[in-house]
């Protein structure tokens, strides 16, 4: 946990902390004062919608990568067919898959390792996509946002 998941979650939290407030400030300072309410509402609606779409898309990516890795890793082991089928049938649970209890401890440990490694593969893929999107956002901001906010005159 401390070396695999925590650093990524820490970077994600730090990134959100240093981008959300400045982005909101930029949006709010780029419009006339009398339109601040509408701008705030639109900004919040767009942010929430983007979050929902990102979670949905990244969830699909996570599940696809997890299942692909799980199948590949299960095929490379000598597990009983019934045990592999039981694990595959629960693949939507991701890392919460219940390992069949009727197997010897060594086989249970092998299945748990296969599940964990598959989950980490999916997590890495999602974090890589997040990093790429962050880099693309930074480049977009670098080229599209001017040095000073432009306020349009009130009509």
Which pLDDT tens digit goes with each residue over 21-72? 888 888 888 889 999 899 999 989 998 999 999 999 999 999 999 999 999 9
Quick one: pLDDT at residue 154? 63
**Averaged confidence pLDDT in the chain:** 90
Q: Tokens 């946002």 correspond to what residue?
A: 145
Report d(CA 93, CA 97) in Å as an integer: 5
Of 22, 8, 24, which is closest to residue 130 (Cα–Cα)? 8
Of 73, 112, 103, 70, which is closest to residue 88 (Cα–Cα)? 70
**Is pLDDT above 60 for 105?**
yes
**Range ranked top by mean pLDDT from 12-16, 24-28, 103-107:** 103-107
Report d(CA 44, CA 65) in Å as an integer: 31
Report d(CA 8, CA 128) in Å as an integer: 10
Quick one: pLDDT at residue 49? 96
Per-residue pLDDT band at 146 (split at 50, 70, 90): low
Quick one: pLDDT at residue 142? 86
Report d(CA 12, CA 129) in Å as an integer: 12
Per-residue pLDDT band at 124 (split at 50, 70, 90): very high
For residues 115 and 95, the answer to whether their CB atoms sit within 8 Å is yes
Quick one: pLDDT at residue 28? 87
Mean pLDDT of 6-34: 86
Q: Which two tokens stand for residue 143?
A: 């080229």
């Amino acid at each position: 946990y401390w070396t695999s998941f925590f650093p990524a979650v820490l970077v994600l939290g730090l990134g959100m902390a240093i981008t959300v407030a400045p982005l909101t400030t930029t949006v709010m300072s780029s419009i006339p004062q009398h339109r601040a309410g509408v701008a705030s509402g639109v900004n919040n609606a767009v942010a929430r919608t983007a979050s929902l779409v990102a979670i949905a898309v990244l969830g699909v990516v996570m599940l696809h990568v997890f299942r692909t890795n799980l199948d590949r890793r299960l095929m490379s082991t000598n597990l009983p067919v019934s045990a592999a089928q039981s694990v595959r049938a629960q693949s939507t649970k991701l890392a919460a898959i219940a390992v069949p209890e009727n197997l010897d401890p060594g086989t249970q440990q092998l299945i748990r390792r296969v599940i964990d490694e598959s989950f980490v593969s999916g997590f890495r893929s999602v974090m890589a996509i997040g990093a790429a999107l962050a880099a693309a956002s930074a480049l977009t901001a670098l080229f599209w946002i001017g040095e000073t906010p432009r306020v349009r005159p009130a009509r």
